[in-house]
């Protein structure tokens, strides 16, 4: 049996339309509807595993208020960028598992600085997932 991190949380969410900013900066996101059954997560960026149509994918998720984009909007958003994925999935259900915490949510002075940080987040998450995959293969085949 694989050991799960104590911070790992799994939840389902329906993909809803957002304002398409992620797509314009090279990181399209699946904006998830959040309700009272959705677990509360510390604001920040997470490495996540996403299940869609019985297929597993990996990505990063921002849980927070998007302070760079919406400086006055305090509404909580969960937005997932799925690596190497380009399907239209509006109104579809995703199962998301948080695997590790990357960093706290931050406000950036420009979209360019945000994009640079997202690139770092993606590279870190891909590296961490590749290490995790290698270790799991060694121990659990």
pLDDT tens for residues 41-89? 999 999 999 999 999 999 999 999 988 877 777 788 999 999 999 999 9
pTM for this prediction = 0.87
Average pLDDT, the chain: 89
Q: What does the alpha-carbon distance between residue 63 and residue 53 come to, in Å, rounded to a whole number?
A: 23
* Domain encompassing residue 120: 10-135
pLDDT of residue 80: 98
Is residue 32 one of the residues assigned to a domain?
Answer: yes
Helix, coil or strand: residue 100 = strand
| pLDDT above 70 coverage of the chain, percent | 87
Is residue 114 one of the residues assigned to a domain?
Answer: yes
Is residue 4 one of the residues assigned to a domain?
Answer: no
Give the burial string for 110-137 (b: 16+ CB within 10 Å, else e): eeeebeeebeebbebbbeebeeeeeeee
* Residue 115: pLDDT over 70: yes
Asked if 123 and 64 touch (Cβ cutoff 8 Å), the reply is no
Domain count along the chain:
1
Is residue 79 one of the residues assigned to a domain?
Answer: yes
Band (pLDDT 50/70/90 cuts) for residue 5 is very low
Is residue 2 one of the residues assigned to a domain?
Answer: no
CATH number (domain holding residue 120): 2.40.30.30
CB proximity list for 13: less than 8 A, separation 6 or greater = 32, 33, 34, 38, 78, 93, 94, 96
Q: What does the alpha-carbon distance between residue 14 and residue 30 come to, in Å, rounded to a whole number?
A: 9
Is residue 140 one of the residues assigned to a domain?
Answer: no
Is residue 107 one of the residues assigned to a domain?
Answer: yes
Is residue 86 one of the residues assigned to a domain?
Answer: yes
């Amino acid at each position: 049996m694989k050991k799960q991190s104590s911070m790992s949380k799994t939840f389902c969410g329906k993909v809803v339309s957002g304002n398409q900013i992620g797509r314009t900066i090279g990181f399209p996101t699946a904006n998830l509807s959040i309700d009272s059954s959705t677990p509360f997560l510390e604001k920040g960026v997470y490495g996540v595993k996403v299940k869609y149509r019985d297929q597993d994918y990996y990505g990063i998720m921002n849980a927070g208020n998007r302070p760079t984009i919406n400086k006055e909007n305090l509404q909580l958003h969960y937005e997932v960028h799925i690596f190497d994925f380009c399907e239209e999935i509006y109104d579809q259900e995703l199962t998301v598992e948080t695997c590790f915490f990357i960093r706290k949510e931050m406000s950036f002075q420009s979209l360019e600085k945000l994009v640079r940080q997202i690139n770092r987040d993606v590279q870190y998450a891909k590296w961490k997932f590749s290490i995790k995959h290698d270790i799991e293969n060694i121990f659990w085949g």
